[in-house]
Structure 1
Amino acid sequence: MTMLEHAEVAVWQDLFTSIIEDADSNILLLDEDFKVINLNAGFYWVFMETYGIELRKGASLLESMEAVNHELTHEWKDRCMIALSGTPIKVEDEFEIDGRIYYWEIHFKSSTRPDGVQVISVFSRDITVRKAYQKKIVESEANLRSILNTIDDSIWLVNADNELIDFNKEFYKRYKSAYGVRLKKGANILALIPDGLVELRETWRARYEHGLKGRPGKYFDTYTIEEELRTFEIKTYPIVENGKVTGLTVYSRDITNQTKAEDLLKRQNEELIKINAELDRFVYSASHDLRAPLMSVKGLLNMIKLDPDKKNQENYLALIEKSVTKLDSFISDIILYSRNSRMDIMPKEIDFHELLQESIDSLKYMEGAEAVRSIRKVEIKGAFYSDYSRLLIIFNNLISNAVRYRDAWKKDQFLKIEITADAQKAVIAFTDNGIGIQQEYLDKIFKMFFRANADSKGSGLGLYIVKGAIEKLEGSIQVQSKLGEGTTFSIEIPNRKV
Structure 2
Amino acid sequence: MTMLEKADAGVWQDLFTSIIEDADSNVLLLDDEFRVITLNPGFYWIFLETYGIELKRGSSILESMEAVNANLTHEWKERCMTAFSGTPIKVEDVFELDGRKYYWEIHFKSATRPDGTQIISVFSRDITVRKAYQRKLLENEANLRSILNTIEDSLWLVNTNYELIDFNKDFFKKYKLAYGVKLSKGKNILELLPEHMPELREMWRARYESALKGRTGKYFDTYLVDKDWRTFEIKTYPIVENGKVSGLTVYSRDITNQTRAEDLLKRQNEELIKINAELDRFVYSASHDLRAPLMSVKGLLNMIRLDPDQKNVEHYLKLINTSVEKLDHFISDIINYSRNSRMDVMPKEIDFNLLLQESIDSLKYMEGAADVRSIRCINVDVPFYSDYSRLLIIFNNIISNAVRYRDHWKEDSYLKVDITGDAERVVISFSDNGVGIADEYVDKVFKMFFRANADSKGSGLGLYIVKSAVEKLKGTIRVSSKLGEGTSFTIEVPNLRP
Q: Does TM, normalized by the shorter one, top 0.5? A: yes
- Aligned residue for 1:367, secondary structure, equals coil
- Aligned residue for 1:489, secondary structure, equals strand
Where in structure 2 are the equivalents of 1:108-123 lying within 5 Å? 108-114=108-114, 118-123=118-123
1:353-377: per-residue Cα shift (whole Å, max 9, x none)?
Answer: 2222221111111111111122222
Aligned counterparts of 1:346 and 1:361: Cα–Cα separation in 2: 24
Query: Structure 1-normalised TM-score?
Result: 0.91
Aligned counterparts of 2:174 and 2:444: Cα–Cα separation in 1: 50
1:17-42: per-residue Cα shift (whole Å, max 9, x none)?
Answer: 22223222222233333333333333
Question: 5+ unaligned residues in a row in structure 2: which ranges?
Answer: none
Aligned counterparts of 1:222 and 1:421: Cα–Cα separation in 2: 42
Q: In the alignment, what sits opposite 1:148?
A: 148
1:176 aligned onto 2:164: no
How far is 1:245 from its partner? 4.1
Q: In the alignment, what sits opposite 2:341?
A: 341
How far is 1:340 from its partner? 0.8
1:476 aligned onto 2:469: no
The structure-2 alpha-carbon separation of the partners of 1:352 and 1:69, relative to structure 1 and needing over 3 Å to count, comes to: same
- Aligned residue for 2:458, secondary structure, equals coil
How far is 1:243 from its partner? 4.3
The structure-2 alpha-carbon separation of the partners of 1:247 and 1:420, relative to structure 1 and needing over 3 Å to count, comes to: farther
| Counterpart amino acid of residue 276 in structure 2 | N
- Aligned residue for 1:427, secondary structure, equals strand
Q: In the alignment, what sits opposite 1:400?
A: 400
1:284-303: per-residue Cα shift (whole Å, max 9, x none)?
Answer: 22222222222223333333
1:393/1:466 contact within 8 Å kept: yes
Q: In the alignment, what sits opposite 2:65?
A: 65
1:249-277: per-residue Cα shift (whole Å, max 9, x none)?
Answer: 44443333222222211111111111111
The structure-2 alpha-carbon separation of the partners of 1:7 and 1:394, relative to structure 1 and needing over 3 Å to count, comes to: farther
Comparing 325-334 and 112-121, the one that deviates more? 112-121
Q: In the alignment, what sits opposite 2:363?
A: 363
Aligned counterparts of 1:91 and 1:441: Cα–Cα separation in 2: 98
- Aligned residue for 1:46, secondary structure, equals helix
The structure-2 alpha-carbon separation of the partners of 1:323 and 1:15, relative to structure 1 and needing over 3 Å to count, comes to: same
1:89/1:108 contact within 8 Å kept: yes
| Counterpart amino acid of residue 341 in structure 1 | S
1:207-238: per-residue Cα shift (whole Å, max 9, x none)?
Answer: 44444444444444444333333333344444
Aligned counterparts of 1:493 and 1:256: Cα–Cα separation in 2: 33
Q: In the alignment, what sits opposite 1:97?
A: 97
Aligned counterparts of 1:114 and 1:375: Cα–Cα separation in 2: 128
Aligned counterparts of 1:176 and 1:366: Cα–Cα separation in 2: 70
How far is 1:204 from its partner? 4.0
Give the length in aligned residue pairs. 498
| Counterpart amino acid of residue 409 in structure 1 | W
Aligned counterparts of 2:218 and 2:424: Cα–Cα separation in 1: 44
1:237/1:250 contact within 8 Å kept: yes
Q: In the alignment, what sits opposite 1:491?
A: 491
Q: In the alignment, what sits opposite 2:428?
A: 428
The structure-2 alpha-carbon separation of the partners of 1:496 and 1:231, relative to structure 1 and needing over 3 Å to count, comes to: farther
How far is 1:391 from its partner? 1.2
The structure-2 alpha-carbon separation of the partners of 1:419 and 1:151, relative to structure 1 and needing over 3 Å to count, comes to: farther
- Aligned residue for 2:92, secondary structure, equals strand
| Counterpart amino acid of residue 172 in structure 1 | F
1:442-479: per-residue Cα shift (whole Å, max 9, x none)?
Answer: 33222222222222112211111111111111222222
- Aligned residue for 1:496, secondary structure, equals coil
How far is 1:178 from its partner? 3.6
Aligned counterparts of 2:167 and 2:285: Cα–Cα separation in 1: 64
How far is 1:92 from its partner? 0.9
1:111-139: per-residue Cα shift (whole Å, max 9, x none)?
Answer: 23456553322222222222122222222
CA RMSD of aligned residues (A): 2.6
How far is 1:108 from its partner? 1.6
How far is 1:107 from its partner? 1.4
Comparing 303-312 and 42-51, the one that deviates more? 303-312
Q: In the alignment, what sits opposite 1:258?
A: 258
Aligned counterparts of 1:163 and 1:277: Cα–Cα separation in 2: 57
1:77 aligned onto 2:67: no
Q: In the alignment, what sits opposite 1:299?
A: 299
Query: Structure 2-normalised TM-score?
Result: 0.91
Aligned counterparts of 1:189 and 1:382: Cα–Cα separation in 2: 59
1:396-445: per-residue Cα shift (whole Å, max 9, x none)?
Answer: 11111111111111222122222221222222222222222222223322
Q: In the alignment, what sits opposite 1:53?
A: 53
- Aligned residue for 2:496, secondary structure, equals coil
1:9/1:115 contact within 8 Å kept: no
